[in-house]
Amino acid sequence: MSERQAGNAVRLQVAREDAFSTDETLHSGEREFLMRRIRQSLRTQDAVLVAHYYTAPDIQRLADETGGIVSDSLEMARFGYEHPASTVVVAGVRFMGETAKILSPEKRVIMPTLEATCSLDLGCPADEFAAFCDQHPDRTVVVYANTSAAVKARADWVVTSSIAVDVIRHLHARGEKILWAPDKHLGDYVRRESGADVLLWDGACIVHEEFKAVELEQMRARNPQARVLVHPESPAGVIEQADVVGSTSQLLRAVTELDADTFIVATDSGLFHKMREAAPGRTFLEAPTAGRSATCNSCAHCPWMAMNGLRNLDTALQSGADEIHVDEAVARRAMVSLGRMLDFGRTRRKEVVGAGDA
Ligand code: SF4
């Protein structure tokens, strides 16, 4: 095991131990009190709550009720950037807070906890990544949004899972060879979909990597009418069985568009909250993971996303601690690759709307 992998294992263990305790001990009076105080703080502090689909239902409800947003990382970034509030409260993991700060340096960006990170971010240290890029100067460097500001600063493009295939197809059509980091499963999927020459960094999401192809086949056999929805951070054998492969927003849309009563879902179970809202009465089954055994606490739920709770959200608003800061020079360079992603997403949205209008 390399030093990097050993460090990750320790940090992951800490995250797993902390994870599911965040709000579990709240009694209903305390929960109501915290929700009321958070609503009030958001109002008085000119703050907007931007939450990821993988956060707890209470956090998602608060974001919806108070004029914020619950979404995927691309839409969170866009929303925080365009919203007039002077403070953006990001409930998610650290790279999402950093992205919000890079896009809106004049705004205060706070998070319930700065400890919430991501195995993809941890597994791609900026210095090692820069050395890897230096070995392949002929390749366009494309990184997934789940990376540190310093890694984004070294990249030519940032992408999210919702636009990764489109961006790589676009670059492939221009004759460019790609260096992709950090998620090897998503990178492999993008490579197969686009036909591009893609060199992969060796990283993975600890949640999606747990989904198991053989057990999924067995679950499909037991539920032959079910449709299978898969996030492309999952292994290839799981992706191959999907009716729909897509980002969290794309999977959420699929439950309203597909004619099915039952869905088997291979992504973080936090998304089930919005899926049940969007398609009430349907059945959502977690795709099988390795982990009904005692060794896998993170199965189908990200231990870092689970660190976001009402208590630490309230504390962050009360104290102003857990504010995100990004080095100015790093932020300026990262803004170039992030800006390309946002421009590409904007153009594609116009094309989709235009096609729909036609
Ligand atoms: S679910 Fe995976 S990719 Fe998403 S934040 Fe958690 S570890 Fe990172």
User: What's the CA-to-centroid distance between 43 and ligand 1, angstroms?
Assistant: 30
Q: Could you tell me which of 141, 162, 236, 240 has the C-alpha nearest to residue 228?
A: 240
The DSSP output letter for 287 is P
Residue listed under structure tokens 């007039």: 84
The three-state secondary structure class of 258 is: coil
User: What's the CA-to-centroid distance between 356 and ligand 1, angstroms?
Assistant: 33
Task: Please indicate whether residue 207, judged by its CB atom, sits closer than 6 Å to ligand 1.
Answer: yes
Task: Please indicate whether residue 116, judged by its CB atom, sits closer than 6 Å to ligand 1.
Answer: no
| Predicted TM-score of the model (pTM) | 0.89
Task: Please indicate whether residue 304, judged by its CB atom, sits closer than 6 Å to ligand 1.
Answer: yes
Q: For 245-262, b where at least 16 C-beta lie within 10 A, e where not — what string?
A: bbbbbbbbebbeeeebee
Give every residue of the chain whose pLDDT is below 50, as ranges.
1, 10, 13-21, 293-295, 355-358
Residue-wise pLDDT tens digits, 170-229: 999 999 999 999 999 999 999 999 999 999 999 999 999 999 999 999 999 999 999 999
Cβ atoms of residues 176 and 140 within 8 Å: yes
pLDDT of residue 12: 52
pLDDT of residue 8: 54
Nearest atom in ligand 1 to the alpha carbon of residue 303 is 6
pLDDT of residue 27: 82
263, containing H or E segment: strand 262-266
DSSP 6-43: HHHHHHHHHHHHHHTTTTTT--HHHHHHHHHHHHHHHH
Alpha helix positions (H), the chain = 3-19, 28-44, 57-65, 73-82, 94-103, 119-122, 126-134, 149-154, 164-173, 184-194, 213-222, 236-239, 248-257, 272-278, 310-319, 328-357
pLDDT of residue 20: 45
- Token pair in block for residue 24: 């579990």
**Main-chain dihedrals φ then ψ at residue 88, nearest 5 degrees:** -110, 125
pLDDT of residue 293: 45
pLDDT of residue 353: 57
Task: Please indicate whether residue 330, judged by its CB atom, sits closer than 6 Å to ligand 1.
Answer: no
Report the C-alpha gap between 338 and 102 in whole angstroms.
9
Nearest atom in ligand 1 to the alpha carbon of residue 117 is 5
